[in-house]
Amino acid sequence: MPEDVAAREVLEDARSLAATGEWAKLVALVTSLHPADLAELVLALSEDDRRQLLSHLPTDVVGQLFEYAEDDEMRDLIRGVGVEDLPAVLEEVEDDVVADVIQQLHPDDREETLAALDRGEEVAELLQYGDESAGGLMSRGFISLNESITVAQAIDYLRVLRPPTEKAYYLYVVDSEKRLQGVVSIRDLLVSAPRTTLGEITQRDVHAVTTGTDQEEAARMLQRYNLLAVPVVDDEGRLEGIMSADDLIDVLQEEATEDMYRMVGLDDEEKVLAPVRRSIKRRMPWLLVNLMTAFLAALVVAPFEDTIAKASALAIFMPIIAGHAGNTGTQVATLVVRGLALGEVKYSDIWTILRKEAMFGFVHGIGAGLLTATLAVGLSLNPWLGAVTFVALMLNLLVAGAVGATIPLGLKKLGADPALASSIWLTTFTDMFGFACLLGLGTLFVSHLQ
Amino acid sequence: MPEDVAAREVLEDARSLAATGEWAKLVALVTSLHPADLAELVLALSEDDRRQLLSHLPTDVVGQLFEYAEDDEMRDLIRGVGVEDLPAVLEEVEDDVVADVIQQLHPDDREETLAALDRGEEVAELLQYGDESAGGLMSRGFISLNESITVAQAIDYLRVLRPPTEKAYYLYVVDSEKRLQGVVSIRDLLVSAPRTTLGEITQRDVHAVTTGTDQEEAARMLQRYNLLAVPVVDDEGRLEGIMSADDLIDVLQEEATEDMYRMVGLDDEEKVLAPVRRSIKRRMPWLLVNLMTAFLAALVVAPFEDTIAKASALAIFMPIIAGHAGNTGTQVATLVVRGLALGEVKYSDIWTILRKEAMFGFVHGIGAGLLTATLAVGLSLNPWLGAVTFVALMLNLLVAGAVGATIPLGLKKLGADPALASSIWLTTFTDMFGFACLLGLGTLFVSHLQ
């Protein structure tokens, strides 16, 4: 049975058990699920059923759900658990996830919830770090040992500690000041003689980041060097936490989603299956900004009404001149935004890119311009219309490439998100410039175009 | 010193050593680098310098470079090594990477290179699997043991085998037919009593995929369940390979890039810093297809030349009606493409989405339509122009949402890539439909618009 069909059947069973109030049966059904699957099911229930089910589940099971939830899903879970019952659930959850949950709380509830936690201070420390920094994402669940310890001692220590499987792949070797010296993999422990010291098998060339490092940069490092975890140190080199591959994969996915969405002016948290009210609240404001930018383009056209009335064939070519340059520039903006995200492009590449896009625009402009001029002459039998459309498209394409590259690089240089509505600014520009070129030339040569 | 500055300095040193032919010094400089950094450096050199440097490096170092290279970079490395010297290098590389390299070879060279390899048959087996399937990506470097073996025996086995660190996190437990039974983490080995059998500590609820599973689905499974590796089995459940987190992260990043690029009609391998000749070859064909679609929109305008000549104010509103619906629909298409990639949206959601987007389009259409009508009346002092622009924008927005969702879902249903030039098809449609509505209504009411 395909997995999503199975999941849907379990969801239907869960809904009917909730409808008849058979909570004991429902709890038995759902606690056999993987927490990731259970989280999906809980979030798919109605708010009422969700609250009821969460109140019947053991706190450690509820706690696990938070580890598999995104920000907006966390808020739904918090509402389901209730702020008063939240501290009991959070005691079962790792510090870094607790910090994420606290950030999703209403500001008024944050302090109270923190105060009710045994580990409130540790969590408060994590909350000091920026939301998107390594410090904000790192987990405290690392294992660190001194290099003078022997392999046999380290194994004994692990036997007593019994760390969770997914945390126990690397042991971090630190000095007496807790400064990170290197890393020992559990495999190395296993295959080394018991009396070897950790110092002898420590791999010292470690890729670490500091607590202030942007999470995206840490994720890129993990990907570049094929690591399973990245240690996080403070400014003095003391080990503060680790970021594991599963957390950093989520970062890479979120950043990719964010870039795709922001380029077209969408809120990061928007989903196509979200309730329509939420979508209206999230999409409408930017769309109306967007509409205002379209008004700007229209205002460029307005002064040329006379020209259009005399040479109405120009109107046929308005969408081609503006739209094609918009699409061409969007390609360049997309390449730059993604190149920046993948660490392949830097601000200092701007001149190389501008030079290259100028050459590209020239070659492409000749090709596209000739085709458009051919259509113009074919439709109007007037070579002047061909010449005007050729020159207007050529100019607009040359500028589109330059602007397509400059917008994201400029946003980056200003410290803003390079994707921020890039394609909206760009197409506003190519519309305005394209109309000005086409209709301006049209006005100059209007006597030949009538 | 920031990492990219350091990298640039090393590259400059490397270039000047290459210029003076000091190969021994250059080899000493670069072999201290991490293979990922060395690969970047080698690829940044000129073709001549690259060939020279590669011929001076030990084959195992050259082999490692392939493990950190993308497809197009592999082709550059192959040219640098030379097809005749390639087999010696590939002997140092894991089967799955060798299979990737073979696929980047010219078809004429593939058979010969395979025949020259000691492990040619194993690699040929991997090549049978689809390029984007789990079978095509999996590595053979897994450790499998029978469940009757004791912990002490397993540890002894690992001591003899000394598997590479990154492969040794999970041990896979198989029966006598090699069918996957479950998984034991190395941590469990370490903390269990030596005489325990693997069967007693096997975790049997394993998330596995089959060799034919799409690599993207395997990556989503890894992400969903926070795994470090996903085992790959054949149709009889026999363990055939594993896909590790580092390979699957690359898959997720590539798929995200692919979606972003394909939506705007870009080749997956295009890079903004690629040589301009390559970019012309990769971008021009689709851009010219794109231009043809713009011609279609222009041909919708052509029959209305008379209307435009009489009521030239309509031309001012052409870009608003068409462009705003294009942007709105692109948002929906982006949400659907990303939702499909993240596994959050399925084809069966189509009716839910269409209903929702119809409601959204209605609310947004009223808002955007009123604003546009206000501008129209403000510019022309003619309420008829306001009414025509309101209705045309409303209709185009309602249709844009539906088409924006239907294009990627339809492509998916047809087995094609949902992102495939989605935004180009969409804007062609919104241009044509928008112009038809605006100019059609304009023609009907032309006497009131003059």
Instruction: Reply yes or no on whether the pLDDT at A7 is more than 80.
Output: no
Least confident residue range of A207-211, A363-367, B160-164, B225-229: B160-164
Q: Please list every residue in chain B whose beta carbon sits closer than 8 Å to the beta carbon of residue A308.
A: 308-309, 312, 315
Question: Which residues of chain B lie closer than 8 angstroms to A318, CB-CB?
Answer: 315, 318-319
Q: In whole angstroms, what is the distance from residue B185 CA to residue B212 CA?
A: 26
Of A284, A318, A352, the CB nearest to B315: A318
Q: Tell if the CB–CB gap between B335 and A270 is shorter than 8 Å.
A: yes
Residue B5 pLDDT > 70, yes or no? no
| Helix axis angle, A71-81 to A35-44, nearest 10° | 70
* Contact list, A143 vs chain B (CB under 8 Å): none
Q: What is the pLDDT of residue A3?
A: 60
> pLDDT (tens digit, 9 = 90+) per residue, A54-112?
999 999 999 999 988 888 889 999 999 998 899 999 988 888 889 989 989 988 888 88
Assembly ipTM: 0.85
B159 pLDDT band, cuts 50/70/90, is: confident
Average pLDDT of chain B, as a whole number: 89
- Of all residues in chain B, the percent with pLDDT exceeding 90 is 48
Pairwise CA distance, residues A349 & A345, whole Å = 7
Nearest CA in chain B to A375: B295
pLDDT at B1: 43
- Quote the pLDDT of residue A361: 95
Dihedral class, residue B346 (left if φ above 0, else alpha if ψ from -120 to 50, else beta): beta
| Strands in B70-178 per DSSP E | 144-146, 170-174
Region A136-164: what's the mean pLDDT?
87
Cβ B313 vs Cβ B380: under 8 Å: yes
- Mean pLDDT calculated for residue range B249-267: 89
Strands (E), B113-179: 144-146, 170-174
The whole-number pLDDT of residue A185 equals 85
**Which pLDDT band, with edges at 50, 70 and 90, does A5 fall under?**
low
Count of pairs with CB atoms under 8 A, one residue in A, one in B: 331
* A230-280 pLDDT per residue, tens: 999 999 999 999 998 888 999 999 999 998 898 888 888 888 888 889 989
In this prediction, residue A170 has a pLDDT band, given cuts at 50, 70 and 90, of confident
Beta bridge mates, A185: A170
Tell me whether residues A331 and B360 touch, CB distance under 8 A. no
Structural domains of chain A sorted by starting position, each given as residue range(s) with its CATH number in brackets = 3-128 (1.25.60.10), 144-244 (3.10.580.10), 276-449 (1.10.357.20)
What tens digit of pLDDT does each residue of A214-226 get?
999 999 999 888 8
- pTM of model > 0.80: yes
Query: For B160-169, what is the mean pLDDT?
Result: 72
